[in-house]
Amino acid sequence: MASNIRRCRNASEEISAAAEIIGGNEDLVVEILLRLPAKSLIRLNSVSKTWLSLISGYRFSILWQQHQRQPKISGLFFTSRYRYDIKYIPPMHIIKSESDCDCNINSTNGGEYNSLALIRDMDTTKIIDSCNGLILICCLFKPDYDSRTYHVYNPTTKQFSTDLHRPFPQTNFDLLYLTFDPLKSLQYKVVWLQKLVHEVDVVEEYWWFQIHIYSSKTNEWKPSGHPFLAPLRVNFRNGVYCNGSIHWITDPLKELGSLYFDVHQERLCPLQFPPFWDPFKFQHFGESRGHLHLVEHSRDIFKFDVFEMERDYSKWLFKYHVDLDTMDDLGSHLKCGGHKFYVLSLTLGENDEEDSFMLLLEFHMNTIIFCNLKDNIFKKLLDVNTRQRCSSWRAHRCIETLFPV
């Protein structure tokens, strides 16, 4: 008995000594922590002040992001340009029923991401933009709702930035875009496109614009270059961030005219427009896995063609064809006439169609639908109010990041 006690005591002492050696080697601790999921790391913040400082630091957040083989989508936010209610959908693999999806994060039962409602005296919240795990939000305040603040929010860590304090008053044409690439920079930027309402329209159907940039590094706004002329037909409301630039294409019902703004070099460049462009077939312009994508109707409302822009902007390539008719779960009632689909989002998996999915808005049923491109799964997610235009609805991918805001 005594020998067993001595062996147990010796083993315990050896384990304690090993733990002390590991705990005292920061590089070894980092290598271990890099292999843990984001939620586990957030819980480990409370282990000690040393671990809190380590895990919440910029250096570790960058290393952890680089260690992830593929960015993990932790959920989806849906919002309308004209409404301040927000729908949150948890990760696809845990959705078991439609009730799991019906989540308004401005309400008291807002689920995992109801911390958006924790801003003091906040009455309404609106998602303005999202980028690589961070979200730009606008908050309106009572009683007259004229007062508003802008914040950057990390849904993974539930951290808010302080108010961005825009230096100029609100106008009827103010568009803000969030830019963030944790693998390239230790800061995020907010780009504000301002139409200069007091400038004279010197060219027919052109207007003067000014770009301002906010940097989280300096916590200040600064104008980017001089005012510039741009055609009004460019759809500035649908700005897509990809590989360090914000891209705008023409309004589908107007003439051609596309631009992109290199945020790092702060310069505007023309964007090559696809030669196959047909404004009456246009469905979606977005980004996934570092590529710009265009989605168009093919031959009927159940068929879509996906095109991808080369990274050097040299040309557009046909990516693949999506045929909803091949999906067993589509349902005969949807295959009847009278239905209209609008593509909200396209997310590509690591190997083409692996884990790739589209989010569709069926206009007549007021329903958002999930469409898995590999397994041909077609699933209803939630009901929405589609009395506004379909193009006013946006889907924001919520990607896990530990980046401190």
CATH number at residue 116: 2.120.10
Q: How long is the chain?
A: 405
Domain boundary among 45, 65, 85: 65
What angle, 0 to 180 degrees and rounded to 10, lies between the N-to-C axes of helices 58-67 and 26-33? 50
Q: Do residues 149 and 13 share a domain?
A: no
* pLDDT > 90? residue 240: yes
143, 19: one domain? no
Sign of torsion, CA 380 386 390 394?
Answer: negative
Query: Which DSSP helix (H) or strand (E) runs through 153?
Result: strand 148-154
Phi, psi of 131 (to 5 degrees): -160, 115
Residue with tokens 């631009």: 259
12 falls within a domain: yes
Tens digits of residue pLDDT in 182-233 = 888 889 999 999 888 665 555 567 788 899 999 999 999 999 988 888 877 7
- Where would I find the H helices in 45-174? 49-55, 58-67
Identify the pLDDT of residue 110. Answer: 40
Helices (H), 293-361: 332-335
Q: Is-contact 210 192, C-beta < 8 A?
A: no
Residue range 281-294, pLDDT digits in tens: 788 889 988 889 98
Same domain, 42 and 140: no
The count of domains in the chain is 2
**Would residue 349 be called left, alpha or beta, if left means φ above 0 and alpha means ψ between -120 and 50 degrees?**
beta
Same domain (yes/no): 95, 244: yes
Question: Residue 367: pLDDT above 50?
Answer: yes
Residue 313 in domain: yes
Tell me if 405 is assigned to some domain.
Answer: no
Q: Are residues 108 and 91 in the same domain?
A: yes
Residue 324, amino acid: L
* 194 and 337, same domain (yes or no): yes
Supply angle C-alpha 329, 333, 338, rounded to 5: 125
Q: Which of 30, 65, 100 is the last residue of a domain?
A: 65
Task: Tell me if 404 is assigned to some domain.
Answer: no
Closest CA to 368 of 355, 385, 354, 353: 385
Question: At 201, which amino acid appears?
Answer: D
Q: Is residue 59 part of a domain?
A: yes
Token pair 């007259």 is found at 144
Structural domain boundaries, residue 39: 2-65
Alpha carbons 339 and 316: distance in angstroms, whole number:
30
60 lies in the same domain as 162: no
Same domain? 12 vs 34:
yes
296 occurs within a structural domain? yes
- Per-residue pLDDT at 179: 96
Domain-located, residue 16: yes
Q: Looking at per-residue confidence, does 267 or 102 come out higher?
A: 267
Last residue of one domain, picked from the residues 50, 65, 80:
65
State the DSSP code for 103.
Answer: -
* Among 91-105, 211-225, 244-258, 372-386, the least confident range: 91-105
Q: How far apart are CA 175 and CA 209, in angstroms?
A: 11
**93 within domain boundaries:** yes
The pLDDT of residue 337 is 57
Question: Kind of pairing, strands 134-141 and 259-262?
Answer: unpaired
Same domain, 57 and 204: no
Q: Answer with the residue of higher pLDDT: 25 or 185.
A: 185
Residues 19 and 77 in one domain: no
pLDDT interval class at 20 (50, 70, 90): low
C-alpha 207/C-alpha 169 separation (Å) is: 19
The strand pairing partners of 295, in sequence order, are: 284, 306
Domain shared by 129 and 35, yes or no: no
In this structure, are 241 and 366 located in the same domain? yes
246-252 long-range contacts, Cβ below 8 Å, gap at least 24? 246/177, 246/179, 246/191, 247/271, 247/285, 247/292, 249/273, 249/285, 252/279, 252/280, 252/282
